[in-house]
Amino acid sequence: MRLLLFLFLLAEVASARTFYLIVSGLGGEPDYDLRFSGLAKEADKSLRAAGGDDSITTLTSPASTKAAVQAALAEMARSATPRDSLVVLLIGHGTFDGVDYKFNLPGPDLSATELAGDLTKFPASRQLVVDTTSASGAALKPLEHPGRIVVTATRDGAETNATVFARFWVEALHDNSADTDKNEVVTALEAFNFAQRKTAKFYEEQKRIATEHPVLSDAAKAGQFTVIRFGSEAAAASDPAKKQLMVRRDDLEAKIDALKQQKNTMAPELYKAQLTALLVQLAETQQEIDK
């Protein structure tokens, strides 16, 4: 029975991976260059320490050109499937001229519209873009797309000062306190809440007026999007059999959340029957993971 369950799950969720692209942009001066590249390397280290078979590509200045970013996305896209996830983390400076947002890179800058075009062609159906730059709020609308979660460090293109949000987003990747429900998984929502809270505290402690106000496009989807795993969850993700079960569990949890949102439109008996069936499947899947 267990073998049949595994074979079913393997066929259903085979090749489910997360592709990470971390990019630190042009600093403009040595201090920012070191700060941005240091954060990119720190994020890379945390993700690799988590294990698993996820794909991680990190580009830092001066190698992080527009052509290199687009080539990296194209290269990853060749191995990706619709079952996979994509996370893009942008660290650096951004600008907004009232029309176009651009991520500052060595050589030509990358506009939000250009990035959106590249991401739309990427096969992964679940995507997370974390733009931690100044003026990044102006990238929110161009980047919005079904299945894509967008996080920006600022609420609009008028917040143009250098940001600190990136520091705390990267910190969430290795600080267990970001995992608020203590399930050894940090979701995009948990990482955002952690970084947002730390950003606000930074300005309070410095007795400065906040010049950045982070934005999250879809809290519901962010709560279901795994950014990084810790402890036994990370160990399980390195086991091919258990990883398939974990993806199955995530799918079931998403279905339960979706069903709960439809509760008021369903007959009580139908809602209860469907919820019970999903909860039983979830419990059985979790038991298999825990063995």
> What's the mean per-residue pLDDT of the chain?
89
What does the pLDDT look like over 139-188, one tens digit per residue? Answer: 999 999 999 999 999 999 999 999 999 999 999 999 999 999 998 999 99
Closest by CA position to 189, among listed 161, 217, 210, 156 = 217
Side-chain-side CA neighbours of 162 within 13 Å: the count stands at 13
Closest by CA position to 143, among listed 165, 124, 166, 115 = 115
Based on the domain organization, do 130 and 188 belong to the same domain?
yes
Residue 169's domain comprises 16-231
pLDDT band at 233 (very low <50, low <70, confident <90, very high): low
- Look up residue 234 and give its amino acid: A
pLDDT score of 11 more than 50: no
Q: Considering only residues 234 and 219, tell me which one the structure prediction assigns the higher pLDDT.
A: 219
Check residue 14 and give its pLDDT: 41
Check residue 258 and give its pLDDT: 79
Q: How far apart are the C-alpha atoms of 178 and 169, rounded to whole Å?
A: 10
Torsion on CA atoms 271, 275, 278, 282, rounded to nearest 10: 170
Q: How far apart are the C-alpha atoms of 167 and 199, rounded to whole Å?
A: 9
Check residue 245 and give its pLDDT: 78
Based on the domain organization, do 246 and 162 belong to the same domain?
no
CATH number at residue 164: 3.40.50.1460
Whether the CA torsion 96, 116, 243, 1 is positive or negative: it is positive
User: Has residue 9 been placed in a domain?
Assistant: no
Based on the domain organization, do 151 and 95 belong to the same domain?
yes
* Beta strands 94-96; 101-103: pairing state: antiparallel
User: Has residue 7 been placed in a domain?
Assistant: no
Side-chain-side CA neighbours of 171 within 13 Å: the count stands at 15
pLDDT band at 5 (very low <50, low <70, confident <90, very high): very low
Tokens for 236, please give them: 């399980």
Q: What is the CA radius of gyration of the chain?
A: 20
User: Has residue 46 been placed in a domain?
Assistant: yes
pLDDT score of 205 more than 60: yes
pTM: 0.83
Based on the domain organization, do 254 and 135 belong to the same domain?
no
User: Has residue 1 been placed in a domain?
Assistant: no
Number of domains in the chain: 2
pLDDT score of 37 more than 90: yes
Based on the domain organization, do 146 and 267 belong to the same domain?
no
User: Has residue 2 been placed in a domain?
Assistant: no
Residue at a domain's end among 205, 231, 257: 231
What does the pLDDT look like over 263-276, one tens digit per residue? Answer: 899 888 888 888 89
What does the pLDDT look like over 61-95, one tens digit per residue? Answer: 999 999 999 999 999 999 999 999 999 999 999 99
Based on the domain organization, do 111 and 205 belong to the same domain?
yes
User: Has residue 125 been placed in a domain?
Assistant: yes
Check residue 236 and give its pLDDT: 59
Whether the CA torsion 56, 61, 62, 67 is positive or negative: it is positive
User: Has residue 10 been placed in a domain?
Assistant: no
